[in-house]
Amino acid sequence: MTCSILVGGAWGDEGKGKCITYLCNKDKPDIIARAGVGPNAGHSVEFNGEKYGLRLIPSGFVQTQSKLLIGAGVLVDPNVFAHELDYLSKYNVAERTFIDPRCGIISQDHIDRDKSSKHLSEKIGSTGSGCGPANSDRVLRVGKRAEDIPELADYLEDVSIACNDTLNEGGDVFIEGSQGFALSLFYGSYPYVTSKDTTASSFAADVGIGPTNVDEVINVFKAYITRVGEGPFPTEMSQERAEALGIEEYGVVTGRRRRVGDFDFELAKESCRINGATQIALTCVDRLYPDCARTQDYSVLSAETKEFISQVEQETGVPVTIISTGPDLKDTIDLRDELL
């Protein structure tokens, strides 16, 4: 029985979607449970030559044997949920996706408030998905919950009971976090953050699993850092340098150009400490070191790439167990067996 939580190490968009699909496809957990804020997330999944952009349904959907759950802490936009059930229909998601009845609901009014607030849309640079206003209504205890929405009635299940029963029966539960450490309302670059804590402890609470049941925390970092929206970014580089390095990026949800910077060892250290990370997954290593593109073999990495990976391990004290060398699931070096 293993309970793993995957978290973003920086400002989101670390390639969590890719890591989640790789790990779930390989390990076949009984349950894949979505934690985190809500549909402000945009996870990218590339599988068998097809590309998907997801905001709510767990990115592990490609593992068709797993049950897909959305934990009580996550905000649900019923329109996004309906769209994704349809979008992923060839993976039978409608038969195996369930929402906790306690999930907070995002309505059109929340989206309008998010987009029309100068503070949120301009100063903070929010995603406009209604998450901030919906979480604020939740804190004020005036928001609706999934159990209040007739269209969701067929998809309700107590996610905490499902996860704990599966663990007690010896099964595996994989919890996918969204956003990233530096966007945490508690630990991130306040006020330029999202509307909730985004560390592993909150993700466990989001799906109703207690801290003593968590075995692994996998912290995902890109080999460089990106940030969308406003706020401090100590290692930021110019767009010209990002282009010269071939690492410019655009957002999945908003299409906004992402700000780009060098890997931040201080941020990585803090992120590993507060998340209690037991493993690191490093993504987009091929974009920084093109000679390792698509390899699955650690031994062929250049000396420079290996030096970078060992510096990450030394600075954080956490082993790098997954090295992602391309967007597809198969472009992955998996070193987890070497930990045993």
Residues identified as active-site: 13, 43
When the beta carbons of 101 and 261 are compared against ligand IMP, the nearer one is: 261
Buried b (16+ CB within 10 A) or exposed e, 210-238: eeeebebbbbbbbbbbbbbbebebebbbe
Whichever of 256 and 336 has its CB closer to ligand IMP, that residue is: 256
Q: Which does 194 bind (CB under 5 to 8 A by kind): ligand GTP, Mg ion, ligand IMP, none?
A: ligand IMP
Partner from ligand GTP, ligand IMP, Mg ion, none binding residue 15, C-beta < 5-8 Å depending on class = ligand GTP
Burial 129-158 (b: 16+ CB within 10 A, else e): bbbbbbbebbeeeebebbeebeebeebbeb
Q: Classify strands 3-8 and 173-176 as parallel, antiparallel or unpaired.
A: parallel
Shortest Å distance, C-beta 325 to ligand GTP: 6
CB of 209 to ligand IMP, least distance (A): 22
Q: What is the largest CA-CA distance in the chain?
A: 58
- Window 140-179: contact mask with ligand GTP (x via CB under 6 A): --------------------------------------x-
> Is 177 a residue that touches Mg ion (CB under 5 A)?
no
- Tell which residue, 313, 316, 307, 315, has the closest CA to residue 338: 313
Residue from 4, 7, 9, 16 touching ligand GTP (CB under 6 A): that is 16
Minimum separation from the CB atom of position 276 to ligand GTP (A): 19
In whole angstroms, give the CA distance from residue 44 to residue 316: 27
Pairing of strands 31-34, 67-70: parallel
Q: Which residues bind ligand GTP (CB under 6 A)?
A: 8, 12-18, 41-44, 46, 178, 180, 252, 283-284, 286-287, 324-327
